[in-house]
Structure 1
Amino acid sequence: MLCDKFLRIQQLYRTAALLALITIGYNLVEGMVSVGLGAADETLSLFGFGLDSFVEVISGLGIWHMVRRLRRGEEERRDAFERRALRITGGAFYLLAAGLAVTAAISIHAGHRPETTVWGIVVSLVSISFMWLLIRHKTRVGKALNSPAILADAACSRACLLLSVVLLASSAGYELTGIGSLDSLGSLAIAWLSFREGREAFGKANGMACGCSCSCGDASD
C-alpha cells in the first residue's frame, strides 16, 4: 500500500514537471511567433504579447526547478535559484511594461495603425485554449498532491489567460472598427498586466505565498 502511494506521488510529480516543461516550450514558440508576426504587421499589442511570453519562460524555469525539488521531498519554501528567477522575471516585466507604455503613447500620438490584427486574433484564441487546459491539469495535480505551490502556479496561469483575452479584445476590436488606437490601447493594457506580474514576482521572491490577484486554491477544476 505504501509503495503504491509512493509510486502514485512520484507519477504526479512527473506530470507536474512535464506540465512545467510544456509551458516553457509553448511560451518559447508563442513568443517567437507573436514577435515575428507583430513586427511584420506593425501590431504593437501582438509584439508586446510575444515579449511577455519570453519573460514567462524565465518564470517557468523556476517552476520546473521547484517541482523537481518537491519530488525529492524538499520543503515548498523557495530556494535561492527560484528567488533569483523570480527577481529576474520581475525586473524583465517592469522593463517590458515601461517599454510598451512609452511605445503605445507614441503610437497613439502619431495615429499609428497596424496593417492587420488577424494574427492577434488567431494567436490569442490558441493561447486561451492552451492556458485553460494547463490551468485544469495543474490544478488537478496540485490538489492530488495537496501542494500549495503547484496550486499557486495553476492560479497564476490565469494572468496569462487574461493577457490573451486582452489581445483578443484589442485585435478583434481593430478588425471590426478600424480604429487604430485600439491596438495601442491593448498594448497599454498588456503593459499594466506586465507591471502587475512584475510586482507579484518580486512579492513571491520576498516570501509571499501567492502574489497573484487570485486565490491560490480556486483555479478551475
Structure 2
Amino acid sequence: MFCDKMLRLQQLYRFASILALITIFYNLGEGVVSIWLGAEDETISLFGFGLDSFVEVISGIGIWHLVRRLGKGEHPERDRFERTALRITGGAFYLLAAGMAATAVIAVIEKHRPVTTFWGIVVSLVSICSMWLLIHYKVQVGTALNSDAILADAACTRTCLQLSVALLVASVGYSLTGIGYLDAAGSAVIALLSVREGREALQKARGLACSCSCSGKCS
C-alpha cells in the first residue's frame, strides 16, 4: 500500500510538472503570435496581451521549479530562485500596466483605430479554451495532492482567463461597431488586471496569502 501511494504521488507531481511546462511553452507561443499580429494590425489590446504572456513565462518557470522540488519531497517554502522570479514577475507586470495605460490614453487622444481585431478574436478564443483546460487539471492535481501552491497557481491562471475574456470583448466589440475606443478600453482592462497580477506575485514573494481567489496560502 505504501509503495502504491508513493507511486501515485510521483505520478501526480510528474503531471503537475508537465502542466507547468505546458503553461510556459504555451505562453511563449501565445506571446510571439500576439505581439506579431498586434503590431501588424495596430491592435494595442492584442499587443499588450502578448506582452503579458511573456511575463507569465517568468512566473511559470518559478512554478515549475517549485513543483519539481515538491516532487522530491523538499519543504514547500519558496526558495531564493522562486522568490526572485516572483519579484521580477511583479515588477514586470507593474511596468506593463503603466505602459498599457499610457498607450490606451494616447490611443483615445489620437482617436486610434486598429486595422482589424479579427486575430484578437481568434487568439482570445484559443486562450480561453486553453486556460480553462489548464485550470481544470491544475485544480484536479492540486486537490489530489492537497497542495496549496498548485491550487494557488490554478486560481491565478483564472486571471489569464479573465485577460482572454477582456481581449475577446474588446475585439468583438470593435469588429461589430468599429468604435476605436473599445480597443483602448481593452488595453486599459489588461493594464488593471496586470496590476493585480503584479501585486499577487509580490505578495507570494513575501510569503503572504494569495489574493487571486484562492483559499490556500502562497507558501
| Alpha-carbon contact 1:16-1:67 (below 8 Å) kept | yes
Tell me the residue number matched to 1:142.
142
SS in 1 for 2:203: helix
CA distance in 2, matches of 1:53, 1:211: 20
On the 8 A contact 2:151/2:214 being kept in 1, the answer is no
Q: Deviations over 1:134-180 (max 9, x none)?
A: 00000110011111111111111000000000000000000011000
CA distance in structure 2 between the partners assigned to 1:21 and 1:174 by the alignment: 34
CA contact (8 A) 1:201 1:211 kept: no
Cα separation, 2, equivalents of 1:112 and 1:65: 42
* Whole-angstrom CA distance in 1 between matches of 2:19 and 2:214: 21
- Cα distance in 1 for partners of 2:70, 2:108 equals 47
Offset at residue 62 of structure 1 (A):
0.3
| 1:126 Cα offset (Å) | 0.3
Superposed structure 1 runs of 4+ greater than 4 Å apart: none
Q: Retained in 2: the 8 A contact 1:155–1:216?
A: no
* Cα distance in 2 for residues equivalent to 1:16 and 1:211: 22
**1:55-114: CA deviation from partner (whole Å, max 9, x where unpaired):** 000000000000001011112111111100000000000100001111110010000000
Structure 1 residue ranges without an equivalent (≥5): none
- 1:30 maps to 2:24: no
How far apart, CA to CA, are the structure 1 residues paired with 2:16 and 2:109? Answer: 46
Is 192-201 or 160-169 further displaced after alignment?
192-201
Instruction: With the length of structure 2 as denominator, give the TM-score of the two structures.
Output: 0.97
Secondary structure of the 1:209 match is coil
Q: Name the residue aligned to 2:133.
A: 133
Which residue is 1:215 aligned to?
Answer: 214
How far off is 1:48 after superposition?
0.1
Of residues 203-212 and 56-65 in structure 1, the stretch that sits farther from structure 2 once superposed is 203-212
CA separation of 1:52/1:203 partners in 2, compared to 1, >3 Å: closer, same or farther? Answer: same
Structure 2 contact 32–50 (Cα < 8 Å) conserved: yes
Cα separation, 1, equivalents of 2:209 and 2:64: 17
CA distance in 1, matches of 2:85, 2:5: 32
Note the C-alpha offset of 1:208: 1.3
Shift of 1:12: 0.3
| Root mean square deviation, CA, Å | 0.8
Task: Identify the residue that residue 105 of structure 2 maps to in structure 1.
Answer: 105
Q: Which amino acid letter does the alignment assign opposite residue 162 of structure 1?
A: Q
Q: Distance in 1 between matches of 2:214 and 2:57?
A: 23
Counterpart position of 1:20: 20
Cα deviation digits, residues 19-39 of structure 1 (max 9, x gap): 000000000000000000000
SS at the partner of 2:51? helix
Deviation for aligned residue 1:198: 0.5
CA distance in 1, matches of 2:211, 2:56: 15
In structure 2, list runs of 5 or more residues that go unmatched.
none
Aligned residue pair count: 216
Identity %: 71
| Per-residue deviation, 1:129 | 0.3
The answer to whether the Cα contact below 8 Å between 1:128 and 1:161 also exists between their aligned partners in 2 is yes
Measure the CA separation in 2 of the matches of 1:90 and 1:22. Answer: 21
CA distance in structure 1 between the aligned counterparts of 2:89 and 2:17, rounded to whole angstroms: 20
